[in-house]
Structure formats: C-alpha cells, structure tokens
Structure 1
C-alpha cells in the first residue's frame, strides 16, 4: 500500500487534484479560527484513513494541508501535525489500523463496537489536538 501512496501523491499533484481539493477546503475554511481549521484538517484526514492505510493517508493529505495552510495564512507545522493526529487516530473501524483488526478476533469485538466506542474517542482526540495545536 505504501508504494501505491508514494505514486499516488505526486500523481494527484501533477494532475492538479491536490491543488483543487486544497483550494476547495481553503475556501470552506476561510475566515474560520485556527481551532476549526485544524479540527477540519484532522477530521478530513481521519475520515480518509478509514479507507486507506495511515501512511498513505498522511502522504496524500500532507501536501494538501500545506497548501491549505498557505492559502489561509496559518502555520504549516500545525496543519501537518493535525494530519499526523488524524492519520493515526482511526478508532472507528477495525480496518483503519492493523492493531484494531488484531484485537478484534481475540477480544470478541464486532465491527459496530468500534464505531460505538471509537466515535466519542475520535471527538475527544480531534478537539484536544486542535486546541493544543492552535495554542502553538
């Protein structure tokens, strides 16, 4: 999966899809406080990591977060850290991270258990991360 992501990220940049997505996201987030910008970047990354490997998600979202940060005039470092947190915080599905899937069988968990328990945890992680990163 990592090799595909390494090839996909430059391809998205080459065809302009990454810039288009960054412009759209920047337009949606224009004028918002830094807290909401970082929470949105973290949330979008987290939602993408449900379907992709966390490394692939970070490779795809990293350049997009930098572009959004430049468009909005915020720190690219904080935007990249929001992507980092979002890419590694998929508690919503067992397929989001290999560790989730590893404990599913031995713990006797069902697919719906992850969403039921993971949703509040995701909200807490996104809110605390956005608050801490917006202070820096």
Structure 2
C-alpha cells in the first residue's frame, strides 16, 4: 500500500501531508520528514538524511534504533569525544580473534542476549572497558 500511495503521489503531482508515529511508514512515504518533540521541530530534511544523520539524540532514538555511546566508550569505539550514535545495522558482531574488515574500528565485548526477530536477530553486547555502555547490533 505504501508503494502504491507513493506512486499515486508522484503520478498526480500533489503534495501529501502525512502525520504518523510509524517511523518506517514516514521514511518510506516522505520526501521530507519533520520530527517533532514536545511540539517543537527537532529536525527537518530528506528521509535518508534524518535517519543517517540525526541532529539530536532525540531524533536518533525516535527514528529507528540507535546506540548512543558516551564518554570513554565513544572515544574508544569511534575515536570521537562526546555522544555518538551508531545504528545497529551498521555494526558487525565477530567471533573473538576474527580479523576486523578494512577501514572499520572494533571494540571487545560480551554477548548478553540474542533476540530472534524474523528477518533479523538483535544482539545485545556489553562493551569491555568499564564504560558501561551496551550496544545492539542486527545480524541477518
């Protein structure tokens, strides 16, 4: 139905104003997305930009799932200070001692939970090193 609505919008050349809490539907149907928080706009932009480059921690958590790494974990895992968001689908879970693919960074941790969710499994990992952050990754 979403694909059909998008085709009708394109073919007829009209603007849809669509209000939803369903993030997948918003990303699928929208050329531009506005994320509101407490009646104020947090971010407006193309769906891919809002998802891939959230402007705030609220947007990162509202549009999909995001791991927010802070302080020492952020520095250790990404090389950047402050709070950094990483989407679960961007992470790989590798066995201990496996080579890290070129251009990627790694952090050691312990798998705490694996949740089967149909097309993906969600893996919760407690990072080693004392920062206390846990990350969730998806594997297919």
With the shorter chain as reference, the TM-score category is under 0.3
More helix by share: 1
Tell me which structure has the larger Cα radius of gyration: 2
- TM-score (normalised: structure 2): 0.25
**Structure with larger RCO (C-alpha < 8 A, sep 6+):** 1
More strand by share: 2
